[in-house]
Amino acid sequence: MAKVSKRGGFSDRNKIKPENTEIQLKEFDKRTRVQLQNMISQFYQEIYGDEYYGGENIQEFFRYVIGTVYSEPVDTRRTYCDDDVLKMINKTIQEDDYDDVLTLIEAIIQYWEDYRTDMQGVMYYNTCFEQYPIKSMYQAANDFFRDEYIGYRFVDDIIVPISDEYEVAEVNQALENPYSPVYEHISKANKLLADRSKPDYENSIKESISAVEALCEILTGITGKEASLGKLLKKLEDNGVVIHAGLKAAFNMLYGYTSDANGIRHAGNIGGPSSTFEEAKFMLVSCSAFVNYLIAVSAK
């Protein structure tokens, strides 16, 4: 019997039966597989509409799936049934390994992208200006990937990882640090990034860099106006905590990025709304790694 599973719904929002918020890399949970199947079904309807499945456009797609994606024999004299081909696709999405699922989806989205470009021309993709008047198949698929915490995205028409085990491990390690203020900032940054119903990337970035500041304040004892990251890092070195010059310079530059007019350290003011998922994720992972590094070197 089907059970309710809605992100941002009452059960999820109130943490009664929270939905999965782990970045999925090598295992896709049941909900994600269902949503990927729904994605393919939705795109199929959007592209072919009420076109009869025996028409040449759909039959050409079926022959591509059977012959190219699954490498099965194709009989060009035969009219393939949509139920049979879609059942084959759905079975892969529901049961097969994550890499087979992504290989299938990548091939189908690439095919439909080319099909829409050929059929709709500049109404879909303007080759002169190299832009999409409407959302591309790749962008639409990436929206599904983002909403289901899939650690991959379409980049230049192929699926690539946007996260890996090492990045996830850095964040998890930072969340296990012994300093509650640091934990609170990292935890909040992660939640703001992971809120798919209303993501807040600019404040996620602010919380990530604030975790580094909080740790430096704890390790140096400096607080208030004097507690800028540059001064805190210098104080750490004065106290015998040796930080590689390249790392120190890199984080001073990141701090500058989050503090200037185009950055988002003072989230809610100018510049913030332009922040992206990729920027927020980069800052969360980078700041988590730097927190772990500072804790390790200060313990020596």
Phi, psi of 179 (to 5 degrees): -105, 115
- Specify the pLDDT at position 261: 40
pLDDT, tens only, 219-229: 888 776 666 66
Judged against a pLDDT cut of 90, whether residue 245 lies above it is answered with no
Give pLDDT, residue 268.
Answer: 43
- Shared domain for 253 and 269, answered yes or no, is yes
Q: How is residue 8 written in tokens?
A: 């941002």
Comparing 50 with 96, which gets the higher pLDDT? 96
Using the Cα atoms of residue 202, residue 14, residue 35 and residue 119 in order, give the sign of their dihedral: negative
Asked whether residue 66 is assigned to any structural domain, the reply reads yes
Among 163, 210, 161, smallest CA distance to 187 is for 210
Pick from 163, 185, 207: which residue ends a domain?
163
The pLDDT of residue 129 is above 60: no
Count CA atoms within 13 Å of residue 120 on its CB side.
19
Same domain, 17 and 152: yes
Residues 80 and 170 in one domain: no
Tell me what the mean pLDDT of segment 3-16 comes to: 85
Which of 146, 163, 180 marks a domain boundary?
163
In this structure, is residue 1 part of a structural domain? no
At residue 262, the pLDDT reads 46
Query: Are 145 and 213 found together in one domain?
Result: no
- Regarding whether 261 and 136 lie in a shared domain, the answer is no
Closest CA to 35 of 108, 99, 105: 105
The answer on 172 and 148 residing in a single domain is: no
| Sole residue written with tokens 């509650």 | 180
- The reply to whether 250 falls in a domain is yes
Same domain? 118 vs 95: yes
More confident residue, 84 or 276: 84
Q: Which residue has the higher pLDDT, 261 or 24?
A: 24
CATH number (domain holding residue 265):
1.20.120
Whether 218 maps to a domain, the answer reads: yes
Q: Cβ distance 137 to 113 under 8 Å?
A: yes
Residue 257 lies in a domain: yes
Q: Note whether residue 4 is domain-resident.
A: no
Is residue 2 one of the residues assigned to a domain? no
Q: Which amino acid belongs to residue 179?
A: Y
The domain of 260 spans 166-298
Q: What number of CA atoms fall less than 13 Å from residue 20's CA on the CB side?
A: 15
Q: 62 falls in which pLDDT band (50, 70, 90)? A: very high
User: Structural domain tally of the chain?
Assistant: 2
Are 243 and 294 in the same domain? yes
Q: Do the domain assignments include residue 209?
A: yes
Identify the domain boundary among 135, 163, 191: 163
138/212 same-domain check: no
Tens of pLDDT, residue by residue over 179-205, are 999 999 998 888 887 766 677 888 888
Three-point CA angle 297, 282, 100, nearest 5°: 115
Same domain, 202 and 133: no
Nearest to 281 by CA among 112, 145, 137: 145
159 and 170 within one domain: no
- Span 132-155, pLDDT tens digits: 656 788 889 988 998 898 988 887
Q: Note whether 16 and 128 are same-domain residues.
A: yes
pLDDT for res 105: 97
* pLDDT score for 167: 78
